[in-house]
Amino acid sequence: MRWMASALATVIWCSLAGAQPQPPVAEKPRLAVLTLEVAGGVEPAIGGVLSEAIAAEVAAKGYFQVVSAKDIQTMLGVERQRQLVGCSDEGSCLAELSGALGARFVLAGSVAKLGDAFQLTLQTQDSKKLQPVGRAVRIARGLEGLQAQLPYAVAEATATPPPPAPSHLMAYGAVGSGAALLIGGAVVGFTGLTEETALSKELSLGTTQPSVLKPVAYYQDAASRVRLEKSLAVVGLASGAALVGLGVFLNLTEGAGASVRVAVVPAAAGTGLALTGTLP
């Protein structure tokens, strides 16, 4: 009977423990992503596509509950959104917009074309404190390069951790293997050339001193060996150069978001060119 009472008490205790309310999960703060402003001849459709890509990137990071530009148009209507965004008083406009959306944070920005380059500017505002949270500026030669930098730009603009650094293991492996093949091909090629030079000297000497010559089979084997070494050297050098090139390409591709971006764009005054760039 005693063990039955003990077992019953254990079951009751476990049931009560399981019935205790769990602590509420903290709700993510809301962040509204406005449609990017376009300038410098950038089509409005590009601003819309980039705005949706930015909203998706913010949502993927998991720190905010995102209200995209399309959601804003659905909730407020295009005309109402224009009225709010076009306020003369930026502080009151931001507060009104965030209040209408129920979003404390508002991410806005612009995309402009500067010569052959594109510049993306993002900034997040805290509507309660009326102060910026973060700001990011990115410059790229094309839209693909600009999209590749979105994870880093969004992280800076929203003051959230940046994405992990890209892995260069494959790139370094290709460069290392290519370098080894280049060295091996050079060594084999040097050996073949040295042996070919020695055979040529010996055959030349044999024209005046036939006694120094070896059997014909020896020179035939030596010639075959030299041809093989030269062929292996060419293959090794070509393969090594290809692997090194592949490694450099992979390194540039994998580190696209973390490399230095530099572009030549028209100067602000329109009197010349300027060199500009950014470190993601």
If pLDDT is split at 50, 70 and 90, which confidence band does 259 have?
very low
Q: What is the CATH number of domain 30-158?
A: 3.40.50.10070
pTM given for the model: 0.52
Higher pLDDT, 243 or 14: 243
d(CA 19, CA 9): 15
Tokens found for residue 35: 């449609």
SS3 11: helix
- Average confidence score pLDDT of the chain: 75
Measured between alpha carbons, how far is residue 240 from residues 68, 86, 180, 186 in Å?
49, 60, 7, 10
Q: Mean per-residue pLDDT for 73-86?
A: 58
If pLDDT is split at 50, 70 and 90, which confidence band does 68 have?
confident
Encode pLDDT of 175-229 as tens digits: 888 889 889 889 988 998 898 888 888 778 777 777 777 887 887 888 888 899 8
Element (H, E) at 131: strand 131-140
Encode pLDDT of 99-146 as tens digits: 666 778 889 899 998 888 899 999 998 888 888 889 999 998 888 888
